[in-house]
Amino acid sequence: MMNDATLHAPAPRLRYSLIAAFAGAAAMLGGCVSADSQQALQRAALAAAPMAAPMKGWQSPLRATHPLVGRIWEVESERYLSADELVEALATKRFVLLGEKHDNPDHHSLQLALVDALASSGRLAGISFEMLASPITPRLKTLPTRTFESANALAAYLEWDDRGWDWELYGPLVKRVVDLSIPIAAGNISRDQMSAMYSPASDEADKSAAPRSQQPLSSDALASLRADIDTSHCGMLPESQFDAMLRVQQGRDLEMARSLMALPSASGVRVLIAGNYHTRQDIGVSNYLLAADSARAPALERGDIVNVSLLEVAAGELEPTAYLETSLGQVSADYLWFTPALSDKDYCASLRGEG
């Protein structure tokens, strides 16, 4: 069901239920702060914070009553924001990177609402999707001249990979962007490019990876990336494949940056829809944007790029900063928007045949 938000309101107002409740518990907690008292203080602060949820409510089933659910944390100011405050902040930027956990339906609902709000503000210049690969670019350019009788017809025209990216989750946002005539870019490399990157001698690998002289990541960041590749493959990836996987990861981030740079910029904000790892400030797409734009005047600055990480809450963890990665000297996110979790399934255990 498509969101029926008004798209041309005079101000970027998100259609969310905003809930603010105030608790006096914090004032009554004094003296030595035990672990229980600290958690009570956190809960009191959260009770006083604005809460932003999709109009149709949360769809993910786990921990919907967790105190962080629906809260938006601004990392720099260390405070909770309302949804409208978030939109006002995003509308001033040149690039907005919207991260997600791909299979969480609440993340897609929130992305749609944010895109609607930016469109209503008149500041949305274009959107790049990680889910679209570069070979579809010619068809993307024809979208303004075409009409589609259904969302499924649009998916067929885009040759959408429904096995990799559930159209039921992504379709409402893609269709809304098309209906608004907002330019769309393909943010991902092709299968052929990906295959070629597995060969270190490949010309395609050289073209799709950052030149050594312009490597946007530090040696520490590259080491962290390698470690995360190992972890994400549950420690089951042969070490001989690490370099190839690193080339693919960097090639994809570089392609996303290029796709954003290619979108029209005169009318405002260019948005990326991608997984949370790609949108990280410390090792993700923003670093490739900065490297690609370094020769231009005025040069792009890190403050021109902002990321919003949509995150599932963890059981018992009430401290928003615990969800950040800060080991590389650059925090991984600018804004955290917390949602219920979809599943507690241990994917690594499944891969190892443990359950």
- Look at residue 353 in the predicted model and tell me its pLDDT: 72
**Residues 192-215, mean pLDDT to the nearest whole number:** 64
Whole-angstrom distance, CA of residue 270 vs CA of residue 307 = 12
**Residues 181-186, mean pLDDT to the nearest whole number:** 96
Q: 93-97, 110-114, 236-240: lowest mean pLDDT where?
A: 236-240
For residue 295, name the pLDDT band (cuts at 50, 70, 90). low
Q: At residue 241, does pLDDT exceed 90?
A: no
Q: How many CB atoms neighbour CB 261 within 10 A?
A: 18
- Look at residue 202 in the predicted model and tell me its pLDDT: 55
* Residues 37-84: tens digit of each pLDDT: 667 777 777 777 888 888 889 999 999 999 999 999 999 999 999 999
Q: At residue 7, does pLDDT exceed 50?
A: no
For residue 345, name the pLDDT band (cuts at 50, 70, 90). confident
Choose the CATH number for 17-351 among 3.30.499.10, 3.40.50.11550, 3.50.50.60, 3.40.50.720: 3.40.50.11550
Domain boundaries, the chain: 17-351
**Angle at Cα 97 formed by Cα 308 and Cα 288, nearest 5°?**
130
Nearest-Å Rg of the Cα atoms of the chain is 21
Q: At residue 135, does pLDDT exceed 60?
A: yes
Which helix (DSSP H) or strand (DSSP E) does residue 202 occupy? none
* Residues 149-165: tens digit of each pLDDT: 999 999 999 999 988 99
**Residues 282-292, mean pLDDT to the nearest whole number:** 92
Whole-angstrom distance, CA of residue 18 vs CA of residue 83 = 8
Q: What mean pLDDT value characterizes the chain? A: 83
**Residues 242-270, mean pLDDT to the nearest whole number:** 90
- Look at residue 200 in the predicted model and tell me its pLDDT: 65
Q: At residue 278, does pLDDT exceed 80?
A: yes
**Residues 321-327, mean pLDDT to the nearest whole number:** 87
Contact 335, 74 (CB under 8 A): yes
- Look at residue 75 in the predicted model and tell me its pLDDT: 95
Closest CA to 58 of 17, 24, 118, 5: 17
Q: At residue 210, does pLDDT exceed 80?
A: no
**Residues 290-302, mean pLDDT to the nearest whole number:** 74
Q: Is 275 exposed, middle or buried (0-12, 13-18, 19+ CB in 10 A)?
A: middle
**347: which 2 tokens?**
């994917």
Whole-angstrom distance, CA of residue 160 vs CA of residue 170 = 10
Q: How many CB atoms neighbour CB 43 within 10 A?
A: 15
Query: What share of the chain has pLDDT > 90, as a percent?
Result: 57
Q: At residue 22, does pLDDT exceed 50?
A: no
- Look at residue 298 in the predicted model and tell me its pLDDT: 66
**Residues 24-48, mean pLDDT to the nearest whole number:** 59
pTM: 0.84
- Look at residue 209 in the predicted model and tell me its pLDDT: 53
Q: At residue 107, does pLDDT exceed 80?
A: yes
Q: 199-208, 214-223, 299-308: lowest mean pLDDT where?
A: 199-208
Q: Using CA atoms in the order 335, 275, 277, 243, what is the torsion angle rounded to 10 degrees?
A: -160
